[in-house]
Amino acid sequence: MKIALYPGTFDPFHNGHLNIAQRALALVDHLIIGVYSAPRKQSLFSQAERIRLTAEAVAALNHEGRISVDGYDTLTVNFARACGATVIVRGLRNSVDFDYEWQMAQTNHFLAEDIEVMCLFANEPFTFLSASLVREVVSLGGDVSRLVPECVARAIADMHF
């Protein structure tokens, strides 16, 4: 069974993340979406909220139990090993992402040669989309309902700024 880990802070989980998860699921037997605690980041949602929203967002993929969502607060390669994952999935939007992900892939390979990194390029219309962009639009009172799954849009609408 091929198990892959799709790690990130997912703050918030957006439609680009959903697209990468759906495409990765077509390539592996089981996909674990790992929601990193990100203790040094100012988060829109707590880790528990991000886990709940991510799980709700991917439920629509009709994955028959082939996706799980779990939180972690350790090195990604250590979490991957603990989950039995042999592949780490990453999404790429542009050359800036490529430079960062190349460095992370090399670091992860140095730390864990047995775990491969698989990068999937973002599909249109998600090449511009990032969680930081969503947070910025939210902070300025903009409508992000077309950028995020419905459950995330509801959670954002319920927040009081």
Number of structural domains (the chain) is 1
Strand partners, 92: 121
**pLDDT over 70 percentage in the chain:** 99
* Residues in CB range of 89: below 8 A, 6 or more apart: 4, 5, 6, 20, 24, 31, 118, 119, 120
- The predicted-structure confidence for 85-94, as pLDDT tens digits, reads as follows 999 999 998 8
Q: Is the pLDDT of residue 21 over 70?
A: yes
Place 160 in a pLDDT band, splitting at 50, 70 and 90.
low
CA distances for 16 relative to 77, 84, 115, angstroms: 23, 25, 24
Q: What pLDDT is stored for residue 55 in this prediction?
A: 97
How far from each other are the two terminal CA atoms of the chain, in whole angstroms?
A: 45
CA atoms of 147 and 149, how far apart (whole Å): 7
Q: What pLDDT is stored for residue 57 in this prediction?
A: 96
Q: What is the CATH number of the domain that holds 90?
A: 3.40.50.620
Q: Is the pLDDT of residue 13 over 90?
A: yes
- The predicted-structure confidence for 63-87, as pLDDT tens digits, reads as follows 788 999 999 999 999 999 999 999 9
Write down the mean pLDDT value for the chain: 93
Alpha helices, DSSP H, located in 112-149? 131-139
Classify burial at 64, counting beta carbons within 10 Å of its beta carbon; exposed 0-12, middle 13-18, buried 19 or more. exposed
Rounded to two decimals, what is the model's pTM?
0.94
Place 40 in a pLDDT band, splitting at 50, 70 and 90.
confident
Place 27 in a pLDDT band, splitting at 50, 70 and 90.
very high
| Domain carrying residue 47 | 3-157
Q: What pLDDT is stored for residue 95 in this prediction?
A: 81
- The predicted-structure confidence for 109-151, as pLDDT tens digits, reads as follows 999 999 999 999 998 888 899 999 999 999 999 999 999 999 9
CA atoms of 109 and 116, how far apart (whole Å): 7
Residues belonging to the chain: 161
Share of the chain residues as helix, strand and coil, in percent rounded to the nearest 5: 40, 20, 40
Mean predicted confidence (pLDDT) in 90-113: 92
**Strands 3-8, 30-36: pairing kind:** parallel
